[in-house]
Structure 1
Amino acid sequence: MSEGLEVFLTFLRLGLISFGGGMANLPEMARTLIANGWVTPQQFADGFALGQFVPGPNMLAVVFYGLSAAGPVGALGALLGMFLPGAAGAVVLVHGWRWMARARWSRALRKALVPVSMGLSLSMLLVLVELGMDKPWSFAAMALATLLIYRGANILAVMLGGGVLGLSVSLLWG
């Protein structure tokens, strides 16, 4: 099987299990991509950060991951694999929305998925903390940023300060 097709099928599987958005399956994505040797843990964290930074869907990091795995063909395969299931599902839902809104099972399913999505969100947070907190000062910086934002500090100022702090620390201590 060609590398591009393997990347497409991997991201298609990830796209199909992305209930609640692509970030819901971030732990599975990290496990799969790192196990396949397509990215290192640091590259996964960096790709995720870049994907959050650029405008557009929050899972644009898959382009970076696909590019790392199989070049431009892998980038396209990852993009299509990740977003085709959601796009197809949205088309189906738009056409069946009225029927689903009246169906009792649909309301029950939506209520049942709340704790599932909360658990998936918590697992995503734990993976990001595990991948991003690789230095002793990282946790202290995160706690300080959380406190500052909670106390009403400007989020952009906190982000810029964190970036400057991170760059300074990495330049000084590598």
Structure 2
Amino acid sequence: MISILIQLFMTFGLLSLLAVGGGTAVLPEMQIVLNEQFQVDHMKFVEVYSIGQLAPGPNMMMVIVFGFQLAGLAGALTVLLSFFLPSSILCLTVGRIWVRIGESPWRRAVQNALEPISIGLMCAGVFAVAKAAINGPVSIGLAIAVLVILLFSRTNPVYLILGSGLVGGALMYFTRFT
């Protein structure tokens, strides 16, 4: 039990420090690590991620669910601390330095460099989740419909997630598609 807690602490601590631009940036790596080290399959990852998107508060609180599934309450607490504490300390430290350097050319250069990196990492996270979740005609149709709705309306994504879940569940139940 202690060895899995140490493994969880090291894994999620490292992911925390790599989360440039937000938690979505580390989703591909998190998916790979959870699959290889802890045998969490891709569909289970997508299910937990989807629940995290619906739950109130920060969507990356979903990592606590993985900790709980892998090592109970101790695992949930370990993952909570290891995923949120290192990045919080780093942000606090860098934030204080950031204020001190003011409008330095270095500050602007770092910001300009991190912006495309953050966007790229977030896109990679979205792609990783989509690749695991889109696995048949129903999910392809729903993904395209949701994309079109998001592009051309101001619909709240929570409604789209809930609606997609209901429509997809009903279609799969009645047609036996996967």
TM-score normalised according to structure 2 size: 0.88
Please list every run of at least 4 consecutive aligned residues from structure 1 whose deviation after the TM superposition is greater than 4 angstroms: none
State whether residues 38 and 65 of structure 1, in contact with CA within 8 Å, keep that contact through their aligned partners in structure 2: no
Residue 78 to residue 154, structure 1, CA distance change in 2 (3 Å):
same
Residue 66 to residue 148, structure 1, CA distance change in 2 (3 Å):
same
Q: Deviation digits for residues 25-76 of structure 1, max 9, x if unmatched? A: 1111101001113411111001111111111112011001111222211111
State whether residues 16 and 87 of structure 2, in contact with CA within 8 Å, keep that contact through their aligned partners in structure 1: yes
Amino acid across the alignment from 2:165: G
Question: What CA distance in whole angstroms lies between the structure 2 residues aligned with 1:114 and 1:101?
Answer: 18
Question: What CA distance in whole angstroms lies between the structure 2 residues aligned with 1:105 and 1:63?
Answer: 37
Secondary structure (helix, strand or coil) at the match of 1:59 reads helix
Amino acid across the alignment from 2:49: F
Indicate the structure whose relative CO is greater, using CA pairs within 8 Å and at least 6 residues apart.
Answer: 2
Residue 130 to residue 71, structure 1, CA distance change in 2 (3 Å):
same
Q: Deviation digits for residues 100-140 of structure 1, max 9, x if unmatched? A: 33332221011011221122122112101111102222111
Amino acid across the alignment from 1:148: I
Secondary structure (helix, strand or coil) at the match of 1:20 reads coil
The equivalent of 2:147 in structure 1 is: 146
**Structure 2 residue runs without a partner (length 5+):** none
Question: What CA distance in whole angstroms lies between the structure 1 residues aligned with 2:17 and 2:131?
Answer: 25
Residue 104 to residue 139, structure 1, CA distance change in 2 (3 Å):
same
**Structure 1 residue runs without a partner (length 5+):** none
Question: What CA distance in whole angstroms lies between the structure 2 residues aligned with 1:105 and 1:80?
Answer: 32
Seq. identity, %: 30
Residue 168 of structure 1 deviates from its aligned partner by 0.6
TM-score normalised according to structure 1 size: 0.89
Equivalent pairs counted in the alignment come to 174
| Pair 1:82-2:89 in alignment | no
Give 2:170's match in structure 1, choosing from 145, 168, 171. Answer: 168
Secondary structure (helix, strand or coil) at the match of 1:2 reads helix
Secondary structure (helix, strand or coil) at the match of 1:102 reads coil
Question: What CA distance in whole angstroms lies between the structure 2 residues aligned with 1:43 and 1:124?
Answer: 16
| Pair 1:100-2:101 in alignment | yes
**RMSD of aligned C-alpha atoms?**
1.9
Question: What CA distance in whole angstroms lies between the structure 2 residues aligned with 1:23 and 1:153?
Answer: 22
Amino acid across the alignment from 1:86: S
Matches within 5 A, 1:1-174: 2-152=3-153, 154-155=155-156, 157-172=159-174, 173=176
